Amino acid sequence: MANSRRIAEALERLTFENREADFHHHTYDEDMQQYELVQRGDPRAPEVGRRMFEGPTTGSLSDDPVKNYQYLFVASVTLACRFCIEGGMPSETAFNLSDIYIRQVDRCRDVPAIFDLRDAMMRDYTARMQALRRGEAYARPVLRCMDYIDRHLQQPLTVRRLAGELKLSETYLSSLFKRETGVAVSEYIRRRRVDTARTLLQYTEFSCVEIAEYLCFSSDSHFSRVFRAYTGQMPREYRRANTRRHWSGSEGE
DSSP category for residue 171 = H
- State pLDDT tens for residues 74-122: 999 999 999 998 888 888 888 889 999 999 999 999 999 999 999 999 9
**Mean per-residue pLDDT for 173-190?**
93
81 in helix, strand or coil? helix
Q: Could you give the CA distance from residue 13 to residue 16 in angstroms, rounded to a whole number?
A: 5
Condensed to tens digits (0 to 9), the pLDDT of residues 192-208 reads 999 889 888 987 889 99
Compute the average pLDDT of residues 230-239: 93
Report the alpha-carbon distance of residue 122 to residue 49 in Å, rounded.
8
Q: What is the mean pLDDT of residues 174-186?
A: 93
Residues 82, 85, 87, 93, Cα dihedral to 10°: 130
Amino acid of residue 138? Y
How far apart CA 118 and CA 108 sit, in angstroms, is 11
Question: The pTM is what?
Answer: 0.52
Confidence of residue 236 (pLDDT cuts 50, 70, 90): very high
DSSP state of 207: -
pLDDT digits (tens, 9 = 90+) for 139-168: 888 888 988 898 899 999 999 999 999 999
pLDDT at 12: 65
Q: What is the pLDDT of residue 20?
A: 52
pLDDT band at 250 (very low <50, low <70, confident <90, very high): very low
Q: Which residue has the higher pLDDT, 59 or 51?
A: 51
Least confident of 2-16, 88-102, 230-244: 2-16
Whole-number mean pLDDT of the chain? 83
When pLDDT is averaged across residues 18-28 and rounded to a whole number, the result is 49
Which residues are CB-contacts of 213 (< 8 A; sequence separation ≥ 6)?
Answer: none
High-pLDDT (> 90) share of the chain, %: 51
Q: Is the model's pLDDT at 5 over the cut of 80? A: no
Mean pLDDT, range 49-72, rounded to an integer: 82
Inter-residue contact 59 to 147 (CB < 8 Å): no
Q: Where is average pLDDT lowest: 5-14, 19-28, 95-104?
A: 19-28
Domains within the chain, CATH numbers bracketed? 2-135 (no CATH), 140-242 (1.10.10.60)
Q: How far apart are CA 38 and CA 161, in angstroms?
A: 34
pLDDT tens string 28-40 = 566 788 899 999 8
